[in-house]
Amino acid sequence: MSSFVSMSDFSFKKHIWKPFNKGINQYSMIQPGDSIAVCISGGKDSMLLANCMKLLHSYGKPAFQVKFLAMDPGYTPEIREAILQNGESLGISIEMHRTKIFDSVGKSAKNPCFLCSRLRRGWLYKQAHEMGCNKIALGHHFDDVIETILMGMLYGSQMQTMLPKLHSENYSGMELIRPLYLVRESSILEWQSETGLNFSRCACRIAEKNDKGSKRAEIKILLNQLRKSNSAVDMNIFRSAENVNLRKIISYHDGNKYHSFLDDYDEGISVKGTK
């Protein structure tokens, strides 16, 4: 393990390797015979993901193929080289492809980050499919999940979360998986610190010009405040997306059809524990 890991064995196993494996097994993310494109942006999350996937692949159980894919949407030469060098330091050979996504996004006056995300995701699916992969792996972690839940409620007037895996709508047989789903960001930051490597945060020149504080940054501040009085707030938010009682919901939809609590309200259905 030491050839891929900079943290102490105990710390890595407890705070990263254990939740990494738990997430993969609990949500059935990897099956024997899979060919997985690990998507690398150059940040701490995707680099740790690549590190863990390389280690898991070396164990051979389950037996799967792994490729490390990065997209250059218009990075400066310095950032591009730094990503490749960090990969080499971790023993990861990154296949990087150039695109002009930053140029395309720069022409969008409204929601450039949303457009960039969609274009990058679409490109990754397309490239992974052409490489013969049936899955792409992204570096979203536990904190991303609970932040997404709160962002949906507070800014999007909806209750939804970031799923651990999902099928591609445009590429048949392709799936997206999030192996770091149960790994805490604090553990990733510790790993980053102990690697001694400088990972990029956001290399987007457009975001740098328009950085006035994102909604996700506001949610992070809110969570930090809540943690001061309730150390279990993160897990409570996460479990709220697992313990959904539809009889306590005013209305919900399954993607196509809406359902209301009024649909069977007058049928006299008695549910234990309700009033």
Locate 114 and state its tokens: 């949303």
- What pLDDT is recorded for position 266? 87
Q: Could you tell me the pTM of the whole model?
A: 0.89
pLDDT of residue 3: 47
Distance CA(201)–CA(220), nearest Å, equals 16
Nearest to 21 by CA among 44, 46, 52: 52
Residue 264 DSSP SS3: helix
pLDDT value at position 36?
98
Q: What is the DSSP string of 197-210?
A: ----S---HHHHHT
Distances (CA, A) of 233 to 64, 74, 94, 237: 36, 39, 37, 6
The pLDDT assigned to 1 comes to: 46
E strand spans, 73-214? 95-98, 135-137, 165-167, 175-177
pLDDT given at position 115: 75
Strands 251-253 and 258-260 come out as antiparallel
How high is the pLDDT of residue 270? 54
How crowded is the C-beta side of 185, counted as CA atoms within 13 Å?
13
Instruction: List the chain residues with pLDDT less than 70.
Output: 1-7, 106-112, 202-213, 268-275
Q: Output the pLDDT for position 243.
A: 94
Residue-wise pLDDT for 104-162, tens only, equals 776 665 666 777 778 888 889 999 999 999 999 999 999 999 999 999 999 999 999 99
